[in-house]
Structure 1
Amino acid sequence: MATLTDIGKLITTDANSNRPVIAGTRTSVRRIAGLYNQGNNAEEIARRLNHLTITQIYAALTYYHANRQEIDQDIAAEQTAYEELAKQHYQATKS
């Protein structure tokens, strides 16, 4: 008989960032969501991040879809912070 996997144990919270990650890895759900939102499907993501299994990718995508608003807001906030830092750097190098 096959061993069943408790999918609730595939995603955990990183103690440092307090963000969801794939258990046993440092790969964030956010990273998987970003690749997915760029048009990659689960199989393409698994090929690109070959240290992950297809099961882990689907778990991350399931978590993302169940919590999409929060994760998309987190991604948008990070993008805004990045753009602000880039703007500050550009202005500093221009002076």
Structure 2
Amino acid sequence: MSTITDIGTLIVTTPDTCGGRPRIAGRRLSVQQIAVLTKQGLTPPEIVREYENLTLAEVHAALAYYYANQEQIEQYLAEEKAQYEQMLAEYEAGKPK
């Protein structure tokens, strides 16, 4: 007989891991990282193949969390993009010409 998994236990948020953003329990793999991989065209089975010991249930739980909280996760993604663009601009400004 197989064990039943409470899907509510698959996604966690802790202040000191991944900046307090939602992530797959027991991993430093955030919901937003799974969302980005999906946006890049990877399917859940392909994501599972990319990450050792990641289960299909964990990927689907992350995607369910993303779709249930899409506005929040998209805000995180926008913040990361803005930080990246700022760092890139600072780097470019400091480069010798």
CA distance in 1, matches of 2:4, 2:11: 16
Could you tell me which of 50, 53, 60 is aligned with 1:51?
53
Give every structure 1 segment of 4 or more consecutive aligned residues whose post-TM-superposition deviation is greater than 2 Å: none
Paired positions, count: 95
- What is the Cα-based RMSD across aligned positions, in Å? 1.3
Give the structure 2 partner of residue 15 of structure 1.
15
Aligned-pair CA distance for 1:90: 0.6
- Code of the residue aligned with 1:81 in structure 2: it is Q
CA distance in 1, matches of 2:45, 2:36: 15
Q: Name the SS of the counterpart of 1:94 in structure 2.
A: coil
Deviations 1:48-85 (A, max 9, x none): 11331111111111111111111011101111111111
1:94 aligns with 2:96: yes
Aligned-pair CA distance for 1:8: 0.3
- Code of the residue aligned with 2:80 in structure 1: it is E
CA distance in 1, matches of 2:14, 2:96: 38
Could you tell me which of 78, 84, 87 is aligned with 1:82?
84
Aligned-pair CA distance for 1:91: 0.4
Give the structure 1 partner of residue 75 of structure 2.
73
Give the structure 2 partner of residue 2 of structure 1.
2
Aligned-pair identity in percent equals: 42
CA distance in 1, matches of 2:96, 2:41: 36
